[in-house]
Structure 1
Amino acid sequence: MKKQTGEVSILSIDIGGSNVKATILNKQGQLTMEYDKIETPMPSTPKNMMEAIKKLVKKFPNFDNISVGFPGFVKNGVVMTAPNLGNKAWEKFDLQDALSKEFGKPARVVNDADMAGLGVVNGKGLEMVITLGTGFGTALLQDGVLLPHLEISHHPIAKGQGYDDYIGDRALDDIGEKKWNKRMKKVFEVLKTVFNYDSLYIGGGNARKLTFKLDSNMKLVTNEEGIKGGARLWNGDHIQGINAVIDSDKKVVKK
């Protein structure tokens, strides 16, 4: 697909425990092509992940910037934890810099739920986004502005278990959908009480397995909607809650 003169294109990538998904967005967050995916490599080392990303986007149209949602704690584009991919291999890996050097384009990397949150919220009040997949991802936004990331998935929810252990893929496989849904009801009650959000958005591959009625301020969202957040990573108005925006050359751009 040929770009129009002056149009900014953004390669938006969502890294998950099962698949790596990507598409090209315009600056408004609209998809300019159908999103594509590839299986997450095993073992999911940085080297293997970089190779998978290169393979996935090999035939993509040209792009100007890169946005990535990563399943772990990310600080200034550097992966600090990656519980569902392998913490040891990823610890302090500068994924943002690696992608920028590989493709010769500016890159920004944030937590995957944070990027999804930017893509799905309506910008009114306190909004919470959760992703139900290999693990449990969360993001908080106030009036459309992304707040500092909290690793809520590691907070104990039951008998010393964090959310990843309690309602992640492994728990779902072990206890089945009926008991998993019972646990999800408990989780929603906790989130409602603790955060008192105005709206809650639920994404991730396991969201479709919820079988009970959701509250009126709760909404299921798709991966396609979440990946649109890659465009808003380049709009500082939406990310002022992060300590700073880091350019690919490592210069800090302060708000």
Structure 2
Amino acid sequence: MRTLCIDIGGTGIKATILDEQGTPMTDPVRVPTPQPASPDPILDLIEEIARAQGEFDRVSIGFPGVVMENVTKTAPHLDNEKWKGYPLGEAVERRLGKPVRVANDAGIQGLAVIEGKGLEMVLTFGTGLGCALYIDGRYVPNLELGHHPYGKRDLKYEDRVFDAECKRIGPKRWNKRVRKMIEQVEPIFNYRKLYLGGGNARLLDTSRLPENVVVVDNVAGLLGGIKLWA
């Protein structure tokens, strides 16, 4: 059973094929996200990627927004209006002729790295801020911490740590903000373990993070796709 795993991001779309044990069978590919990032151009690209990857039996898609029953509800870093209520799973099934499951991209990343014990949490740093929560290995979907108010001036968590802000203030100040955010999040959720991922996780100063905070490889955004079929 071969699973085509696709990770849709605000700046790039990644894909690979996994075997039944979750081992990559093809080299992961990354292509820029089409602009405008509306459904048709992204589906055209997914179809092109699928042809290049080879044979597969099913498809898992990580999507940067709220997903309910394979239907996208929000997409703040894509063409948001056009993704509201969009049947992404059904649309990809029609194009590729294979069964499809879709979930939030941070949620899928966590499925690849969690231990499945107690309350675990994932934060992903990239174009935006992704978030996912797990209780004894069970995913609690569509927790959008990134859009929750943070401090003064009507800012949100995402406004403080997303990619554009990291580039504006530099990695040193950005790391300080991430640590401050962790200090606020920990007593709210009281997680047993926190995993930090996403494209900008590579910039984190791991020596200054709490013991129960772990930085994970961004490839987990693809590897967790097989868990949607568990």
- TM score, norm. by length of structure 1: 0.86
Name the counterpart of 1:18: 11
Matched residues in 1 for 2:114 and 2:61: separation? Answer: 18
User: Does residue 61 of structure 1 match 2:54?
Assistant: yes
Contact 1:135 1:163 in 2 (8 A): no
Equivalent of 2:169, from 171, 175, 178?
Answer: 175
User: Does residue 206 of structure 1 match 2:203?
Assistant: no
Contact 2:66 2:72 in 1 (8 A): yes
Equivalent of 2:183, from 178, 183, 189?
Answer: 189
How do 1:70-89 and structure 2 match up within 5 A?
A: 70-89=63-82
Matched residues in 2 for 1:49 and 1:84: separation? Answer: 13
Contact 2:179 2:209 in 1 (8 A): no
Name the counterpart of 2:31: 38
Name the counterpart of 2:224: 229
Contact 1:79 1:92 in 2 (8 A): yes
Matched residues in 2 for 1:181 and 1:11: separation? Answer: 34
Shift of 1:98: 0.5
Name the counterpart of 1:165: 159
User: Does residue 215 of structure 1 match 2:210?
Assistant: yes
Matched residues in 2 for 1:164 and 1:213: separation? Answer: 21
Q: CA RMSD in A?
A: 1.2
Shift of 1:123: 1.1
Name the counterpart of 1:48: 41
Matched residues in 2 for 1:127 and 1:25: separation? Answer: 25
Shift of 1:27: 2.4
Contact 1:120 1:226 in 2 (8 A): no
Matched residues in 1 for 2:20 and 2:117: separation? Answer: 21
Shift of 1:56: 2.0
Deviations 1:34-73 (A, max 9, x none): 2111111111110110111122222212111100000011
Count of residues in correspondence between the two structures: 228
Shift of 1:173: 2.4
Segments of structure 2 that go 5 or more residues without pairing to the other structure are none
- TM score, norm. by length of structure 2: 0.95
The answer to which structure has the higher helix fraction is 2
Contact 1:157 1:163 in 2 (8 A): yes
Matched residues in 2 for 1:41 and 1:50: separation? Answer: 10
Q: What amino acid does structure 1 have at the position aligned with 2:196?
A: I
* % identity of equivalent residues: 45
Matched residues in 2 for 1:174 and 1:225: separation? Answer: 27
Segments of structure 1 that go 5 or more residues without pairing to the other structure are 1-7, 236-255
Matched residues in 2 for 1:158 and 1:20: separation? Answer: 32
Q: What amino acid does structure 2 have at the position aligned with 1:136?
A: L
